[in-house]
């Protein structure tokens, strides 16, 4: 059996992989591990629990709350709130634990459980391993006044919006913005934050019904946002995912601005204001070579990590860096947040547009990206990638053809049963051809019986 925790919590098909029983057990185990680590000494433990808009989040929320309270943890239930909102509340209220129920950008049938430690940081690998190893273990059940109490916070969204507004130092009056909320956790807070900041806002996919989260919308389906920006004559569009920890953008003429572009814009903005610590930005191995070259040309150092915003955050913390993120749109601004925050990112990009008087397209032009193709291969043995000679030979042949003018990257997904094949080349056709060739070999060699 593989590790239960992936790169972003525990994730799978709700009520099949992610069950109420598992949610209770994980909550009890997390409380026990943190107690043994001395996190609760001298006070009653407290937790924040939030969720996105999936219907399955309702019963999973109840299960997590039951598990925590039965383990003696006082629980503050905040309902539907973006993942970064749960992290921010965990940090700012001094809670010992935060729990977010979400499968992020995954389809509606999936769900997941993410944990935050005190301070709003994702749990370290060894803590997750300890929680997993404790599942099903016997434990001493508190009784009487030692059981946890449960309260509900109806104004968590409003407090989060107020916090976001405090991160920018100018109004956004005059900017026309379309925001795609993915029928997810951003549906209320994203339009509210942008409007209160002064922007003229048109929200789309902001009517969640429990079933329509990420359904042909949001950061993984930008077509609707592109059409709406063009039709409305907006200055810019932003797209979030189901739990609003991602942000992608669209220019006035419909060009897609991904996380690499956004990181470059914010890195240069912070550097120009003397706020980019060590003139360094942290990203992952998936970042486009064009991003790295653009940063190098303006004297900004790029530090790379493994894929996953948790690894970006860890590197930022160890190096004292203030900006990091991923091509997928996770952007971490550690002056304001402990994790990727899509709404915060949108506000910061808009603030830079106002500050410079330049359009999003003009700001993003600093990065000239190499064509990049990403192919996902499903139904294969992910663990055999590095040991399979035919796969490695296919990669080596692709690298020979690229002759140093591109790169190849294979990696198993940490959140889905998928192997991702990424190829960058001087032309899109070459990148597509080489990626497909490698994918064919992976499919043929590593197919599960």
The answer to whether the beta carbons of residues 332 and 251 sit under 8 Å apart is no
**Are residue 194 and residue 84 in the same domain, yes or no?**
no
**Are residue 67 and residue 141 in the same domain, yes or no?**
yes
Give the position of tokens 């609760």. 40
Where is the domain boundary, 157, 178, 212? 157
Assessment of whether the complete model's pTM goes beyond 0.85: yes
Distance CA 77, CA 162 (A): 19
**Are residue 275 and residue 411 in the same domain, yes or no?**
no
Q: What is the CATH number of the domain that holds 53?
A: 3.40.120.10
Look up residue 124 and give its DSSP letter. P
Q: What are phi and psi of 151, to 5 degrees?
A: -125, 160
Q: Is 380 contained in some domain?
A: yes
**Are residue 274 and residue 393 in the same domain, yes or no?**
no
Q: What is the CATH number of the domain that holds 392?
A: 3.30.310.50
Identify the domain containing residue 418 by its residue range: 372-446
The answer to whether the beta carbons of residues 244 and 190 sit under 8 Å apart is yes
**Are residue 230 and residue 351 in the same domain, yes or no?**
yes
Q: Is 173 contained in some domain?
A: yes
The DSSP code sequence of 405-417 is SSEEEEEE-SSSS
Which of 216, 314, 242, 311 minimizes the C-alpha distance to 50?
242
Residue 104 a catalytic site member: yes
Distance CA 119, CA 121 (A): 6
Q: Is 2 contained in some domain?
A: no
**Are residue 145 and residue 214 in the same domain, yes or no?**
no
**pLDDT for position 1:** 45
The DSSP code sequence of 244-306 is S---EEEETT--EE-HHHHHHHHHHHHHHTT-SGGGEEEEETTS-HHHHHHHHHTT-EEEEE-
Where is the domain boundary, 302, 335, 364? 364
308: alpha, beta or left, given left = phi > 0 and alpha = psi -120 to 50?
A: left
Angle at alpha carbon of residue 28, lines to 40 and 106, rounded to 5°: 110
Q: Is 216 contained in some domain?
A: yes
**Are residue 397 and residue 439 in the same domain, yes or no?**
yes
**Are residue 133 and residue 178 in the same domain, yes or no?**
no
Tokens of 359: 């359009």
Q: Is 358 contained in some domain?
A: yes
**Are residue 202 and residue 342 in the same domain, yes or no?**
yes
Which of 166, 288, 181, 180 minimizes the C-alpha distance to 228?
180
Q: Is 133 contained in some domain?
A: yes
Distance CA 104, CA 119 (A): 21
What string of pLDDT tens digits covers the 449 residues of the chain? Answer: 468 998 789 999 999 999 999 999 999 999 999 888 777 767 889 999 999 999 999 999 999 999 999 999 999 999 999 999 999 999 999 999 999 999 999 999 999 999 999 999 988 889 999 999 999 999 999 999 999 999 999 999 999 999 999 999 999 999 999 999 999 999 999 999 999 999 999 999 999 999 999 999 999 999 999 999 999 999 999 999 999 999 999 999 999 999 999 999 999 999 999 999 999 999 999 899 999 989 999 999 999 998 888 889 999 999 999 999 999 999 999 999 999 999 999 999 999 999 999 999 999 999 999 999 999 998 888 778 888 999 999 999 999 999 888 899 998 876 667 889 999 998 999 999 999 999 999 999 888 76
The DSSP code sequence of 311-377 is HHHHHHHHHT-SEEE-TTS-EEETTT-SS--HHHHHHHHHHHHHHHT--HHHHHTT--PPPEEEEEE
Cα separations (Å) of 198 from 172, 205, 244, 348? 5, 21, 21, 13
User: Exactly one of 56, 104, 187, 328 is catalytic; which is it?
Assistant: 104
Q: Is 33 contained in some domain?
A: yes
Element at 444 (helix H, strand E): helix 428-446
**Total number of domains constituting the chain:** 3
**Are residue 121 and residue 138 in the same domain, yes or no?**
yes
Count of residues in the chain:
449
Where is the domain boundary, 335, 364, 393? 364
Which residues neighbour 419 within 8 Å (Cβ) at sequence distance 6 or greater? 376, 377, 380, 382, 385, 410, 411, 412, 413, 442, 446
Going across the sheet that includes 97-101, the strands are 10-13, 110-117, 97-101, 46-51, 74-80, 150-152
Torsion of CA 19, 21, 27, 29, to 10 degrees: -120
**Are residue 171 and residue 306 in the same domain, yes or no?**
yes
Q: Is 333 contained in some domain?
A: yes
**Are residue 351 and residue 397 in the same domain, yes or no?**
no
Task: Return the axis-axis angle of helices 156-165 and 342-356, rounded to nearest 10°.
Answer: 30
The DSSP code sequence of 236-259 is EEEE--TTS---EEEETT--EE-H
């Amino acid at each position: 059996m593989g590790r239960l925790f992936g790169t972003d919590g525990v994730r799978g098909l709700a009520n099949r992989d992610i069950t109420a029983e598992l949610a209770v057990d994980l909550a009890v185990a997390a409380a026990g591990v943190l107690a043994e680590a001395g996190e609760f000494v001298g006070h009653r433990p407290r937790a924040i629990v939030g969720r996105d808009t999936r219907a399955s989040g309702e019963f999973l929320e109840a299960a997590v709350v039951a598990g925590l309270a039965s383990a003696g943890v006082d629980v503050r239930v905040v309902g539907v709130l973006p993942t970064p909102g749960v992290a921010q509340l965990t940090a700012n209220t001094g809670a010992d634990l935060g729990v977010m129920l979400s499968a992020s950008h995954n389809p509606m049938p999936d769900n997941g459980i993410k944990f935050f430690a005190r301070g709003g940081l994702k749990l370290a690998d060894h803590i997750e391993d300890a929680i997993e190893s404790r599942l099903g273990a016997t434990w001493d059940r508190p009784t009487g006044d030692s059981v946890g109490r449960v309260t509900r916070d109806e104004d968590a969204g409003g407090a989060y919006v107020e916090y976001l507004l405090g991160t920018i130092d100018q109004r956004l009056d005059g900017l026309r913005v379309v925001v795609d909320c993915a029928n997810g956790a951003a549906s209320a807070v994203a339009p509210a934050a942008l409007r209160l900041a002064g922007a003229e806002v048109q929200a789309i996919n902001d009517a969640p019904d429990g079933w329509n989260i990420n359904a042909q919308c949001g950061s993984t389906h930008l077509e609707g946002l592109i059409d709406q920006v063009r039709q409305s004559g907006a200055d810019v569009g932003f797209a979030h995912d189901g739990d609003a920890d991602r942000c992608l953008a669209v220019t006035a003429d419909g060009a897609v601005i991904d996380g690499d572009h956004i990181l470059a814009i914010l890195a240069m903005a912070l550097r120009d204001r003397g706020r980019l610590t060590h003139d360094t930005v942290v990203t992952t191995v998936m970042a486009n070579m064009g991003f790295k070259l653009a940063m190098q040309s303006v004297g900004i150092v790029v530090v790379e990590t493994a894929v996953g915003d948790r690894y970006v955050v860890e590197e930022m913390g160890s190096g004292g860096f203030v900006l990091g993120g991923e091509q997928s749109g996770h952007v971490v601004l550690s002056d304001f947040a402990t994790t990727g925050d899509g709404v915060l990112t949108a506000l910061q990009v808009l603030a830079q547009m106002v500050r410079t008087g330049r359009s999003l397209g003009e700001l993003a032009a600093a990065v000239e990206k190499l064509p990049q193709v990403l192919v996902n291969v499903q139904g294969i043995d992910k663990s055999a990638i590095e040991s399979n000679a035919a796969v490695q030979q296919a990669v080596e042949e692709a690298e020979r053809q690229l002759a140093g003018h591109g790169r190849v990257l294979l990696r198993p997904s940490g959140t889905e049963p998928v192997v991702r094949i990424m190829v960058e080349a001087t032309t899109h056709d070459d990148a597509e051809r080489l990626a497909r060739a490698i994918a064919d070999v992976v499919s043929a060699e590593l197919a599960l019986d």
